[in-house]
Structure 1
Amino acid sequence: MSGGGGAVGGVLGAGSSYQRFVHSALEQTRLRTALTPHPSQEKFNFIKPNDDTTVLKALSFSAPKIRLLRSLTVEKKNSVQVLDFAAFSEPEYDLPIFCANAFTTPAQSIVVLDLNPLYDITVDNDYKDKYYRNLMPLVQKYSELLPWGGKITSESLRFFSPIVIWTIFEPTENNHHVLYSALTDYYKVWLELTDEAIEENDRAKIVRNGEAQHRYLTWRNEKDPGYPLLKKLIGETQAKDLVSGFLFEGVNSLGSKSFLDYFPEYARDDGTVNKKRSMVGKSFEARPWDATGRFIGSDDAG
């Protein structure tokens, strides 16, 4: 997870690789473009947990094609370590969102790594072909080393791509070495896609891209699984501020629609949001895409 470095063995040894990835990713980005500190970094970089055994570090940047590149790492000594790293393009580009989330305890590591699509690729074949057709070997490279993590609901699946890595494994040094390799490869691909991206001039498409990103941010802001941990570490007010103002910055500025505007199926009778994490929907015990990226989940979902 975050910040420690130097520690070996157990959860700290695994965690140091997360911070190592952050440094490597920023170095790789700087080789390709000029990073500028994002305004959210100044506000959140020095946020202090209420626990002396925990280190929390928040970094955020922007670049000519990148609206937000941000990283949050958490290390609680001999306990929990977290990586939350994401990169969002400017709305002039319809690039997928780079997303790397890892949660490690001494017993297990839970990881989601993906290039989240802006659009529903179960119906938008043009978008799927544009970004994922040539990336399927990437997931094939890691699917055996980092196998599917078990049952996942269609609720969680709605923003995943065919190359998503969703896995749970024992936090050994070897397993984290494989994970570091996957993180690096996936981020390199995202940087290459960004390099190749051509600016959109059609105003309607730019607005559509912005709304698609806002829809994603609105979902993640409402459903962030790390919020309970952040609430425990820094208090409810600061945790809410960190989630909406840093992790999913743009949720209050890229658009004006609410969570229920995008996802009305979560409305309760009193107009509030149903907080249940798993709503009605199919669940998937195995990877619901074939080797070509075609969605096959409807054939075997439970």
Structure 2
Amino acid sequence: MAASPFSYQKFVSFALEEAQRSMDLIPLPLQQCNCKKAVDGKTELRMLSFRTPKIRLLRSLTIDGGESMQVLDFGIFPEPEFDLPIFCANFFTASGMNIVVLDLNPLHDVINESVYREKYYSSLMPLGQKYAELLPWGEKITSESVRFFSPIVVWSKFTSSQCKHDVLYAAFMDYFKAWLELMDKASAENDASMITYNREAQHKYLTWRAEKDPGFPLLSRLVGESHAKDIVRKFLFNGVDALGSKSFLDYFPEYQQEDGTINKKRSVIGKSFQTRPWNAKGEFIGNDLR
């Protein structure tokens, strides 16, 4: 397999080195192996996972398909004692096209509730505005996805000829450092009801992501459907089977079909947003999601 001129591995290396400056990363045995060949015998999947006293799971998945494909799925999920946002970096590069999502996904509602938004995002709006200009909004996105995004989300598409990988790397570094600063300042919640509230919010997020993961078809092609399901539920969104007992339809009943099964469509309600639905203050200006 020809070596790729671009790789997301340096993103992972930066994050781990930066994290280790302020905490001890304890490896987790979630991955069956940290490097796996796909069924084509060429594409490589690399998985790493860690925990810390404040982090329930820090994990990364990189897919190296040489010049034809590069993928990064990097996430950090806090312990339920902390209402920290969830660090999320989903980058896909193939056939000259790049699709990227970078965000500190809100654990709680930032569209209708201002307290949580002010707590975590008010000071980060200049950072969000900077990269909103450098990495413009990437066409329509559904209201179902928007409700899991923050006002500083980077959702963008660009061709490889636009040479924006350096900008993306800078954004990743800045967002990761911003998340680490939030984590360093975070204090553990002592109220049992609030810890339960945080745990259910994270479980709802995991349940949505595990069911609607857009990367699942790719994983299925690379490693087979059964192994792909294990990667999604036991690695990428670990906790979906442990943090709570509610099902996808308990959280999202609008997706239930007449026969009781889940509607597999990406969008079943609400509108799509062609442009960024937040203003420079982080206020939602998309009216409502329906």
TM-score w.r.t. the length of structure 2 is 0.97
The AA in structure 2 aligned to 1:25 is A
Question: Which stretches of structure 1, 4 residues or longer, exceed 3 Å deviation after superposition?
Answer: none
Q: Deviations over 1:213-247 (max 9, x none)?
A: 00000000000000000000000100000000000
Match of 2:164, SS? helix
Q: d(CA) in 1 for partners of 2:10 and 2:180? A: 18
* RMSD between aligned residues: 1.6
* Aligned residue number for residue 68 of structure 1: 57
Please give the alpha-carbon distance, in whole angstroms, between the structure 2 residues aligned to 1:282 and 1:185: 31
Counterpart position of 1:237: 226
2:248 to 248, 252, 259: 259
**Inter-partner Cα distance in structure 2 for 1:31 and 1:234:** 35
Post-superposition shift, 1:32?
Answer: 0.6
> For 1:39 and 1:93, how far apart are their aligned partners in 2?
23
Please name the residue that 1:193 is paired with. Answer: 182
1:111 to 85, 88, 100: 100
The answer as to whether partners of 1:13 and 1:173 remain within 8 angstroms in 2 is no
**Cα 1:172–1:31, aligned 2, differ >3 Å: closer, same or farther?**
farther
The residue aligned with 2:19 is 29
Once residues 58 and 76 of structure 2 are traced to their aligned partners in structure 1, the CA distance between those partners, rounded to angstroms, is: 4
> Cα deviation per residue 1:150-183 (whole Å; 9 max; x = unaligned)?
1111011110000000000112483100000000
> Is residue 2:191 matched to residue 1:202?
yes
Quick one: which amino acid aligns to residue 26 of structure 2? T
**8 Å CA contact retained: 1:57, 1:72:** yes
Q: State the SS of the aligned residue for 1:144.
A: helix
C-alpha contact (below 8 Å) 2:111/2:147 kept by paired residues: no
Contact 1:44 1:246 in 2 (8 A): no
Q: 1:76-127: per-residue Cα shift (whole Å, max 9, x none)?
A: 1221111000001100000000000001013210000000001111112100
Letter in 2 for 1:40: L
* Pairs within 5 Å for 1:3-152: 7=3, 12-14=4-6, 16=7, 18-41=8-31, 43-152=32-141
Q: Distance in 2 between matches of 1:194 and 1:91?
A: 13
Maintained 8 Å contact 2:97/2:157? yes
- Letter paired with 1:13: P
Q: Deviations over 1:33-65 (max 9, x none)?
A: 010111203x24244311122011000000110
**Greater shift in the superposed pair: 58-67 or 48-57:** 48-57
Are residues 63 and 172 of structure 1, via their aligned partners in 2, closer, same or farther at CA, if it must alter by over 3 Å?
A: farther
Letter in 2 for 1:153: T
Given residue 32 of structure 1, which amino acid in structure 2 is its aligned partner? S
For 1:170 and 1:47, locate their aligned partners in 2 and report how far apart those are by CA, in whole Å.
28
Amino acid at match of 1:251: V
Unaligned runs of at least 5 residues, structure 2:
none
Matched to 1:160, the amino acid is: F
Q: In the TM superposition, what is the alpha-carbon distance from 1:75 to its structure 2 partner?
A: 1.2
- Answer whether contact 1:56 1:73 (CA < 8 A) is retained: yes
* CA distance, structure 2, for counterparts of residue 91 and residue 293 of structure 1: 25
- Contact kept, 8 Å, 1:59 with 1:71, in 2: the verdict is yes
* Paired position in structure 2 for 1:220: 209
Return the alpha-carbon distance in structure 2 between the equivalents of residues 96 and 27 of structure 1: 21
> Identity of aligned pairs, percent?
60
* One-letter amino acid of the counterpart of residue 113, structure 1: L
Aligned residues: 290
What's the offset of the Cα at 1:135? 0.5
Q: In 2, Cα distance between the equivalents of 1:244 and 1:47?
A: 18
Equivalent in 152, 158, 177 of residue 163 of structure 1? 152
Contact 2:82 2:195 in 1 (8 A): yes
TM-score, length-scaled by structure 1: 0.93
251, 272, 281: which one aligns with 1:283: 272
For the residues of structure 2 that align with 1:213 and 1:78, how far apart are their CA atoms?
36
Q: Is the 8 A contact 2:5 2:67 kept in 1?
A: no
Partner Cα distance (1:172, 1:37) in 2? 38
One-letter code of the match for 2:144?
Answer: E
Cα 1:158/1:44, change in 2 over 3 Å:
farther
The equivalent residue for 1:181 is: 170
Over residues 253-294 of structure 1, what are the superposed CA-to-partner deviations in whole Å (9 max), with x where a residue is unaligned? Answer: 000000000000000111110001111211111100000000
